[in-house]
Structure 1
């Protein structure tokens, strides 16, 4: 994994985890233990999906930079389908508060995307290879 990938990943994991902790505390106060469980599970789902996707895109961009956009789009489609499957499987569960679960997924996803954009705009990523052949 390249240094920029690590900074991008760290710059997104930390704020998303913080948002998940805030959501968990709010859910505990509003919905009790089931709300807390829903918020924690949602945060774990969002972090797992996006971290795995980011690692896959980083690996592909290192090995085959020409396939990076294709892999990014494919990863995004797979993430959305899997998230839809998770939401479908847990829609009628009594183990945790599903409304808290859904709201936390939405909030954590928005924080992840916003932090990705914020970190990416501050990284100095060369779009040409300075030492490459001309």
Structure 2
């Protein structure tokens, strides 16, 4: 992973993990050990799904830039459907607190998306190639007198 991608991932994953830790602590206080476990699983699942999605989008942008927007839309829909399936499968579980799991999943997903938007807005992305202007000779255009 190039350093810019790693820096971008760091700016996104750290706030998400911090928000997840807060939700785990609150869930532990409110619902005990099962609440903390549910919140931890929800946070880890959100980070895992969103991290894989970020990697796939970066790969698509580099290899198939013409499909980037369509892949982004498809990827977010697929992530939401997978999360919905996971929630539906474990809604009646006794392994962990389902409400703490769902709350942490939503909080981690929202924080991830907000941090991703912030990281994108703060990124210094060149819209032109600064090296191409230096390599070309300046040519006079128009009539010369």
Q: TM-score, normalised by structure 1?
A: 0.92
**What are the ranges of 5 or more consecutive residues in structure 1 without an aligned counterpart?**
none
The equivalent residue for 1:46 is: 46
Say whether the 8 Å CA contact 1:4–1:125 is kept in structure 2.
no
Q: Which residue of 1 aligns with 2:21?
A: 21
Residues 11 and 119 of structure 1 are in contact (CA less than 8 Å); yes or no, is this contact kept in structure 2?
A: yes
Per the alignment, in what secondary structure is the counterpart of residue 6 of structure 1? helix
Q: Which has the larger radius of gyration?
A: 2
> What's the RMSD between the two structures over aligned residues?
1.8
Q: Distance in 2 between matches of 1:2 and 1:60?
A: 15
Unmatched segments (≥5 aa) in structure 2: 133-145
**1:106 has 2:106 as partner:** yes
Contact 1:39 1:100 in 2 (8 A): yes
Other-structure match for 2:11 = 11
**What is the rounded CA distance, in whole Å, between the counterparts of 2:75 and 2:51 in structure 1?**
11
User: Which structure 2 residues correspond to residues 1-134 of structure 1 after superposition, within 5 A?
Assistant: 1-130=1-130
Q: CA deviation at 1:59?
A: 0.7
Equivalent pairs, count: 134
CA contact (8 A) 1:4 1:123 kept: no
